[in-house]
C-alpha cells in the first residue's frame, strides 16, 4: 500500500534583490545557460566546457596552476576539500580564527585529525603577520585563513604571509569564498598554495560549485601523503583524473552539469568585464554604501583599514529590532540582507555587494529602503542616499 | 600585471537524447524551475520549498522518516554521507561487491576507517541471502549494498535482508541511485535504515543533489557516536538543523538553491504520475528494450531474474567496435549511451531507461538507430524494432 501522495502546485518564487553575503542575483546569461540542453558528464561537448571552465578559473584566480577545478559541491565543501587533501592525522595546522568561517576552518581541520593551533583575533580586526610568524616557530603543515570574513566584514591582508609560511615549510591556504571576483586575489603573485571559493558570491553563479586551485608545492605534498584522503568524494587526486585536459578522462562522479554551465558563463562574464574593472566596481559601490550608512549615523563594524568591500557589517542601532527591519526589507522591497552571526546575532546587519548584485542602483535603493524603514521604526535618520550619491560621482 | 584573459563565446550545447545510466533529459517543468527567481538559502520562501521537498522525498522513498533530506552534492556524496555518518573507525562493515558501485562502497567504508568485509559476487549476478547471513555471524555495524548496479544492469533483491541485518543488530544501508523512482523502493516496508539516491537518474532532476533518508534506528546510532563524523560538510546532525521543519533553522552551508527547486519539481512530477504507474512504465519500456535487443541477436548481460529495468547491460557483439558505435549514435542521432566499466570496458553497452528518458519513443528510436549502425558496421541484424513494438502492445 502506497504512502500518501503529496500534491503541490508548480514552483513559484518571488523576485528578490539579493544583498546578503551570497547568493547574488544571476546575470541573464547565467540563467540562460541553465536551460541549455543537458549533456552527459562524459559527453565530449561537456568535456570541452570543463576545459573552458578551467581556463576561465585560472584567469579568475590569476594562476597558472594545472590543478584548478570546480568541486561538485558548495563553498563549505571547498573548505573541507582544501584541508582534507593537505592534512593528515597528526599534522599541525595554524588557523587564524577571526570570525565564524575561521572557526569553521579550525573545526574541519580538527575533524581531519589535525593538531590545530588557533590564532585568535578579536571580531572586527585582522591578524598580525607577527602572530603568524610566531606560531610557525613550531613546525606546521599549513597556515590557513579566511580572506574575507563575512561574519565581520573584515578583509585579512595577505601580503607577506606566503613568504613567512614558505620560510617555515608550511603551505599557505586561503578561503576566498567571499572575495574571489570582487577583491583582487592574484593567487600566484601572493604565493597561495591552496585557494578555494564559492561560485555564488562575487562570481554570481548559482550556489552549487566550489572553485579550487592547488600550487605545485601543494600537489607535491598531496602526492606524498602516507594515507588516503579521508573523503573519496573530495579527493583531488581522483577529481584531477576527471578534470584532466591531457590524459584520458576517468569517470569519478556525475558532475553537476548545469552548475558547470552556469559557472562557465559566470566566469566568462568576469573575463569580459575584466578583473581590474570588476574589483574597482566593488570598491566603488562598497565605499558609497559605507558613506551612506555612516551619514545615517550607523556604525560600520570592521575597523579601518581592514574593511571588506564585498560584505559590510553594520551595527543595529540601539532600540531597533533587527528581525523587524530585515523582515520589512524583504516583504516591502524584496531586498534580502543577512543578520549577525554568533555573539552579533540580532546586533548586526551584513550587507553584500557582490558580483551582479553589486551596482550603484542597489546601493541607492538599499540605503533608501533602509532609511525609510528605520525612520518608521523610530530611528531618525536622513542623508544616506545623498551622501552615497556624492560618493558615486 | 594581469594574466591573459580568455575569450569564449556564450555557451552553446547540442541537443541530446540521454540514454546512459544518468543523467536523463529533463522534463520541461524541471527546466522551467531552474530559471525561477533565485532565493537566498535562508529566505522563508526557500525554507518552505525545502519543506515541500522533504514531503515529496518521503513519498518517493515511501517512508515516514523524519530525517529525509537532499544532500548538497551528487550521488557519490550520498554514498559517502551514508557510510561516514554510521561508521566509526574500527566498526565492521559487510559490503556486497557485485560491480563498480559496490566496489566504491567498500572503498569509501575503508576510508571511513571501517573493517570492511566484502561479499564478492560475480558480475551479472546478485548476492544470496545466505551469504549475507553467514557474514553477519560476526558482529557488524552495517550491511551495505547497491540496489541497482549500473555497471552490470543487475537488480539486487532486497526482501529479507533487513530482517537478517536487524536480527544481528546491524543497520541495513542501500544505494538506490539507479532505482529510486524507477523500481519500487518502499524504504519502510523493506526495513532499510539508510537509503540514498541521486537526483539525476529515475527522478530526472539535473545532477547535483543526493536524496537520503535515515530510519529512527540509524538516527539513534548516529546520536550515540563516540566521535564526530569525519566530514563536516556531510554531517547529517548539522544538516538536520538546517532542514528541520520544527525547530529554528541553523545555517550550515549555502544550499544549491536551484538544484533544490529542480528536485522539488522533479519529485512533484513523480507524485503526479504516481509511483506505481511510474514503476510500471519503467518495467514496460525495459522489457521492450530487452526483447528488441535479443531479437537483434544481442546478449543481455545480467542473469534472469535479476535484470534491472532502469539500466540494461548488453554485450558488444564479436567484431564490432564499441567506441565507433557509441560515437555514431552520438553524432548521427544525438543519442548517448554508456560503455562498459572495469573488465567490460569496450565489451558492454549500458543503456539507461530512466525517468523522463524512459519512453516508448526512446526505446524504438534507440533500437532503430542501433540496428542501422550495427548493420553498417558489419553486424547483420533485423527485427529489433518490430519485436519491441509487439512487446509494447
| Nearest CA-CA partner of A269 in A35, A28, A100 | A28
Report angle CA A145, A150, A153 to the nearest 5 degrees.
100
Cβ burial of B359 (10 Å; 0-12, 13-18, 19+) is middle
User: A170 in helix, strand or coil?
Assistant: coil
The answer on pLDDT for A343 being more than 80 is yes
Task: Please say whether the beta carbons of B79 and B217 come within 8 A.
Answer: no
The predicted structure's pLDDT at residue A3: 82
Distance in Å, alpha carbon of B67 to nearest chain A alpha carbon: 17
CA distance, residue A112 to nearest chain B CA (Å): 6
Alpha-carbon gap: B250 to the closest alpha carbon of chain A (Å): 11
d(CA B203, CA B180): 7
- Decide if pLDDT at A95 tops 80: yes
pTM above threshold 0.95: yes
Burial of residue B367 (number of CB atoms within 10 Å: 0-12, 13-18, 19+):
buried
For the cut 90, the answer to whether the pLDDT of residue A246 exceeds it is no
Average pLDDT over residues B110-138: 98
Tell me the nearest-neighbour CA distance from A344 into chain B, angstroms.
Answer: 15
C-beta of residue B309 within 8 angstroms of C-beta of residue B274: no
β-pair partners for B93: B116, B142
Rounded (5°) CA angle A229-B250-B253: 40
A333 at the B interface (CB within 8 A)?
A: no
Confidence of residue B356 (pLDDT cuts 50, 70, 90): very high
Residue B3's pLDDT band (boundaries 50, 70, 90)?
Answer: confident
Which residues in chain A are contacts of B108 at CB distance < 8 A? 232
List chain B residues with CB under 8 Å of A228. Answer: 110-111
Distance from C-alpha of B177 to C-alpha of B145, rounded to nearest angstrom: 11
- pLDDT (average), residues A383-389: 98
> Cα separation of A66 and B66, whole Å?
44
B215 vs B196: CA distance, rounded Å? 12
Which positions ≥6 away from B72 have C-beta within 8 Å?
A73, A74, A77, A208, B209, B233, B253, B255, B256, B259
Closest chain B C-alpha to A10 CA, distance in angstroms: 7
pLDDT above 90 as % of chain B: 98
Whether A193 shows a pLDDT value over 80: the answer reads yes
Q: Is the peptide bond before A374 cis (omega within 30 degrees of 0)?
A: no
B3, B31, B77: residue with CB nearest A59: B3
Q: In this structure, are residues A228 and B111 in contact, taking their beta carbons and an 8 Å threshold?
A: yes
CB-defined contacts A:B, below 8 A: 274
Strand partners, A172: A143
- The pLDDT assigned to B2 comes to 75
Instruction: Assess contact for B207 and B221: CB atoms under 8 A.
Output: no
The torsion of the CA quartet A157, A160, A161, A167, rounded to 10 degrees, works out to 180
State yes or no: pLDDT of B52 exceeds 90: yes
Chain A residues in contact with B253 (beta carbon < 8 A): 74-77
| Residue B248: pLDDT over 90 | no
What is the spatial distance between Cα B215 and Cα B191, in angstroms, rounded to a whole number? 8
The predicted complex's ipTM stands at 0.97
Nearest neighbour of B230 by CB, restricted to A111, A264, A336:
A111
Asked if B250 and B241 touch (Cβ cutoff 8 Å), the reply is yes
Q: Does residue A231 sit at the B interface (CB-CB below 8 Å)?
A: yes
3 state DSSP class of A350:
strand
Q: Closest-CA residue in chain B for A263?
A: B11
The grid coordinates of residue A31 equal: 540563467
* pLDDT at res. B246: 83
B324 near A CB under 8 A: no
- Whether residues B49 and A11 touch (CB distance < 8 A) is answered with yes
Question: Has residue A357 got a pLDDT over 70?
Answer: yes
Chain A residues whose CB is inside 8 A of the B274 CB are 2, 5
**Which residues in chain A are closer than 8 Å to B11, comparing Cβ atoms?**
32-33, 36, 49, 261, 264-265, 268
- Output the DSSP codes for A194-211: EEE--TTSTT-PPSS-EE
Residue B90: per-residue pLDDT = 97
What count of other Cβ atoms lies within 10 Å of the Cβ of residue A304?
6
What b-and-e string marks burial along B276-288, b requiring 16 or more CB atoms within 10 Å of the CB?
A: eebbebbbbbbbb
The C-alpha atoms of residue B349 and residue B338 are separated, in whole angstroms, by 6
From the list B269, B227, B210, the residue with the least C-alpha distance to B77 is B210
Helical pair A216-223 and A75-86, crossing angle rounded to 10 deg:
60
Phi (first) and psi of residue A314, to 5 degrees: -135, 140
Residue B376 has pLDDT above 80, yes or no: yes
Amino acid A79: pLDDT: 98
Residue found under cell 539500466: B311
| B12 in contact with A, Cβ within 8 Å | yes
Q: Rounded distance, CA A242 to CA A252, Å?
A: 6
Determine the straight-line distance between the first and last CA of chain A, rounded to whole angstroms: 68
Give the C-alpha separation, B275 to B62, whole Å: 9
B111: nearest CA in chain A? A230
Q: Inform me whether the pLDDT recorded for B36 exceeds 90.
A: yes
pLDDT for res B375: 98
Task: Name residue B349's beta-bridge partners.
Answer: B314, B339
Helix or strand run (H / E) with residue B175: strand B171-175
Å between B131 CA and nearest CA of chain A: 28
CA B78/CA B46 separation, integer angstroms: 22
Confidence of residue A4 (pLDDT cuts 50, 70, 90): confident
Whole-number pLDDT of residue A1: 64
Q: Does A108 touch chain B (CB under 8 A)?
A: yes
Quick count: other Cβ atoms within 10 Å of Cβ B307?
20
**End-to-end distance of chain B based on CA atoms, in angstroms?**
68
The per-residue pLDDT for A247 is 81
Nearest to B62 among A3, A43, A255 (CB): A3
Which residues from chain B sit within 8 angstroms of residue A198, using beta carbons?
254
pLDDT in tens, A249-267: 999 999 999 999 999 999 9
Q: Which of A122, A104, A168, A113 is nearest to A142 (CA)?
A: A168
Q: Map grid coordinates 591582508 to a residue.
A: A157
Residue A127's nearest CA partner among A104, A150, A94 is: A94
Nearest to A256 among B3, B62, B208 (CB): B208
Task: Note whether A271 contacts B7, CB cutoff 8 Å.
Answer: yes
Using a CB-CB cut-off of 8 Å, the residues of chain A touching B255 are: 74, 207
The domains found in chain B, sorted by start residue, are 28-272 (3.40.640.10), 275-391 (3.90.1150.10)
Quick check: A206 and B256 CB within 8 A?
A: yes
- Is B264 part of the contact surface with chain A (CB cutoff 8 Å)? yes
Q: How many CB atoms lie within 10 A of CB B125?
A: 16
> What is the mean predicted confidence (pLDDT) over B48-57?
98
For B:121-180, CB contacts with A below 8 A are: none
Instruction: Find which of B37, B113, B267, B330 to mutate to test the A interface (most A CBs within 10 Å of its CB).
Output: B37
d(CA B212, CA A139): 41
Chain A contact present for B277, CB below 8 A: no
Measured between CB atoms, does B48 come within 8 Å of chain A?
Answer: no
Spatial CB neighbours of B244, under 8 Å, sequence gap ≥ 6: none
State pLDDT tens for residues A110-130: 999 999 999 999 999 999 999
A17-18 and A335-336 as β-strands: parallel, antiparallel, unpaired? parallel
User: Cβ(B84)–Cβ(B212) under 8 Å?
Assistant: no
Q: Does A75 touch chain B (CB under 8 A)?
A: yes
pLDDT band of residue A20 (cuts 50, 70, 90) is very high
Look up cell 557483439; give the residue: B317
Q: Which residue does chain A place closest to B227, by CA atoms?
A: A111
Taking CA atoms, B361 is separated from A37, B203, B337, in Å, by 19, 19, 16
Q: Are A18 and B41 in contact (CB under 8 A)?
A: no
Residue B75: half-sphere exposure toward Cβ, Cα within 13 Å: 29
Interchain proximity A16–B4, CB inside 8 Å = no
Decide: B17 and B363 in contact? Cβ < 8 Å: no
**Cβ–Cβ under 8 Å, residues A221 and A86:** yes
The whole-angstrom distance between B227's CA and the closest CA on chain A is 9
* Other beta carbons within 10 Å of A335: 22
Q: Nine-digit cell at B51?
A: 519543506
Mean pLDDT of A294-310: 97
Could B76 and A228 be called an inter-chain contact, meaning their C-beta atoms sit closer than 8 Å?
no
Residue in chain B lying closest to A271 (CA): B5
DSSP structure class, residue B157: P
> Could you identify the residue written with the cell 570582487?
A182
- Say how far apart CA A329 and CA A377 lie, in whole Å: 12
Q: At residue A2, does pLDDT exceed 80?
A: no
Q: Which residues of B touch A258 (CB under 8 A)?
A: 34, 206-208, 258
H or E element in which residue A241 lies: helix A236-243
Residues with Cβ within 8 Å of B271's Cβ and at least 6 positions away in sequence, in order, are A5, A6, A7, A8, B56, B59, B60
Say what the pLDDT of residue B251 is.
Answer: 93
The answer to whether B14 faces chain A, any CB pair under 8 Å, is yes
Compute the mean pLDDT over every residue in chain A, rounded to the nearest whole number: 97
pLDDT of A41: 96
Bridge-based pairing state of the strands B92-97 and B142-146: parallel
Closest partner residue to A31 (CB to CB) among B35, B46, B59 is B35
Q: What's the grid cell of residue A339? A: 543578520
Amino acid at each position: 500500500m502506497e504512502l500518501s501522495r503529496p500534491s503541490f502546485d508548480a514552483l513559484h518564487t518571488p523576485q528578490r534583490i539579493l544583498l546578503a553575503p551570497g547568493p547574488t542575483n544571476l546575470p541573464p546569461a547565467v540563467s540562460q545557460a541553465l536551460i541549455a540542453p543537458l549533456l552527459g558528464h562524459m559527453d565530449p561537448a561537456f568535456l570541452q566546457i570543463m576545459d573552458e571552465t578551467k581556463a576561465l578559473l585560472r584567469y579568475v584566480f590569476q594562476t597558472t596552476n594545472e590543478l584548478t577545478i570546480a568541486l561538485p559541491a558548495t563553498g563549505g565543501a571547498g573548505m573541507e576539500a582544501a584541508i582534507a587533501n593537505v592534512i593528515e592525522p597528526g599534522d599541525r595546522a595554524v588557523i587564524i580564527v577571526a570570525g565564524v568561517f575561521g572557526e569553521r576552518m579550525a573545526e574541519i581541520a580538527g575533524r581531519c585529525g589535525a593538531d590545530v593551533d588557533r590564532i585568535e583575533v578579536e571580531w572586527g580586526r585582522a591578524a598580525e603577520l607577527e602572530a603568524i610568524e610566531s606560531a610557525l616557530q613550531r613546525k606546521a603543515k599549513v597556515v590557513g585563513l579566511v580572506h574575507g570574513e563575512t561574519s565581520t566584514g573584515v578583509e585579512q591582508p595577505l601580503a607577506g604571509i606566503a613568504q613567512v609560511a614558505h620560510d617555515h615549510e608550511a603551505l599557505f591556504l586561503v578561503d576566498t569564498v567571499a572575495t574571489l571576483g570582487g577583491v583582487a586575489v592574484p593567487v600566484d603573485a601572493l604565493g597561495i598554495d591552496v585557494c578555494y571559493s564559492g561560485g555564488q558570491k562575487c562570481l554570481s553563479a548559482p550556489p552549487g560549485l566550489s572553485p579550487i586551485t592547488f600550487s605545485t608545492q601543494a600537489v607535491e605534498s598531496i602526492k606524498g601523503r602516507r594515507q588516503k584522503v579521508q573523503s573519496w568524494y573530495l579527493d583531488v587526486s581522483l577529481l584531477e583524473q576527471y578534470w584532466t585536459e591531457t590524459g584520458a578522462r576517468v569517470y569519478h562522479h556525475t558532475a553537476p552539469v548545469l552548475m558547470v554551465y552556469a559557472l562557465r558563463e559566470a566566469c566568462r562574464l568576469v573575463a569580459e568585464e575584466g578583473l581590474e574593472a570588476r574589483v574597482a566596481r566593488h570598491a566603488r559601490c562598497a565605499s558609497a554604501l559605507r558613506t551612506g550608512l555612516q551619514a545615517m549615523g550607523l556604525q560600520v563594524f570592521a575597523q579601518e583599514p581592514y574593511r571588506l568591500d564585498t560584505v559590510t557589517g553594520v551595527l543595529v542601532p540601539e532600540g531597533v529590532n533587527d528581525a523587524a527591519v530585515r523582515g520589512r526589507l524583504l516583504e516591502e522591497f524584496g531586498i534580502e540582507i543577512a543578520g549577525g552571526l554568533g555573539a552579533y546575532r540580532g546586533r548586526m546587519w551584513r550587507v553584500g555587494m557582490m558580483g551582479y548584485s553589486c551596482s550603484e542602483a542597489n546601493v541607492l535603493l538599499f540605503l533608501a529602503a533602509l532609511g525609510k524603514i528605520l525612520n518608521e521604526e523610530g530611528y531618525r535618520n536622513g542623508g544616506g542616499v545623498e551622501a552615497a550619491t556624492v560618493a558615486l560621482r
